[in-house]
Amino acid sequence: MRIIRSIISLYGFIVFSAIAVSPVCFAQSNQDRSTPSIDVPSLLSESGYKYAEVRKGLWKIPDIPYRGKNIDNLIIFLEPNLSNKTLRISFRLGFLRDPEETTEFKEKLKELSERFKPTELSLSGAVLFVFAEAAVDKLDKETLEKAIKEVGDVSDQAYSELRKYIELDLESRRAGVGAGAPGGDGALSPSIFKTPDSPGSNVARNVDSRPVALNRVTPGYTEEARKNKVNGIVTLRMLVDETGTVKNIRVIRDLPDGLTEKAIEAGYKMRFKPAMKDGKPVAYWVVAQVTFILR
């Protein structure tokens, strides 16, 4: 099992929505002709996948239908690992419920990693990924499809045993359809909440009941985002005070063209029944996903 650390916040679910092959090719490196680079776009195109380049050396397949007990959709990331001549195929399974890893969770993750080898489970900050590595000299359409299915199958099975510790990523459930989409109503569905790393003396870490959203908020699209056809999710951490008012917002995951600002604006308009501890209302941090989808 590999434990990878990065700055990613713990995650929960308050949902806002706005809608308005043939063998893989190789290219020899000028610096090291013994190490091939993988022509991932050619492989994906020949395999019939729609994809986007997230950054140099990292590609994303945003929408692979999957019928599992827990997962309806796979968002797959692909990244060449030239050191061992493999292609890493990853799926973001979900987010830790607790602010820190517990001993029980660590032991469970280790047990699952051993059971599902060679597919691995890797924690990056508070985000849990499932990934496999396929040898580039054997990569073709059939091999890629098989590897993606294996990652999906392990993810679906693992979540059944990890639901106590993590919340499933919103994108894997095709959730978050809001105003402008067929049947969408911009519903807010709180479920998982997290205290910040340094909560302060007035913010509770453990509560008897968590905040409950009392209203629905649908953020608008900016003209620039419409023009550029921006879709995606903004993730926010929001401090709900003793009166149920959102007092502070921190951005965990953003989007361009003013959509992050629209998400923050919507967050401040939310009202909650506050968290309770020992019969008294207390301040508590929640994490929200704000989904923007153009139809």
pLDDT in tens, 89-118: 999 888 776 656 778 888 999 999 999 999
DSSP 225: H
Cα distances from 133 to residues 47, 74, 102, 156, in angstroms, run 18, 17, 28, 18
Give the span between the Cα atoms of 63 and 225, in whole angstroms. Answer: 20
Residue 143 has pLDDT above 80, yes or no: yes
Q: What is the mean pLDDT of residues 142-167?
A: 91
- Mean pLDDT of the residues in the chain: 77
Higher pLDDT, 279 or 19: 279
Reported as a single tens digit per residue, the pLDDT across 215-273 is 988 888 999 999 998 888 887 878 899 999 999 988 877 889 999 999 999 999 999 99
Overall pTM surpassing 0.85 (yes/no): no
Residue pair 26/37 in contact (Cβ under 8 Å)? The answer is: yes
pLDDT band of residue 87 (cuts 50, 70, 90) is very high
At 94, phi and psi to the nearest 5?
Answer: 175, -165
Q: Is 145 helix (H, G, I), strand (E, B) or coil?
A: helix
Reported as a single tens digit per residue, the pLDDT across 24-79 is 443 334 444 444 467 899 999 999 999 988 888 899 998 898 988 989 889 899 99
Question: For residue 174, what pLDDT is reported?
Answer: 56
Domains of the chain plus CATH, in order, are: 21-170 (3.30.1460.10), 175-292 (3.30.2420.10)
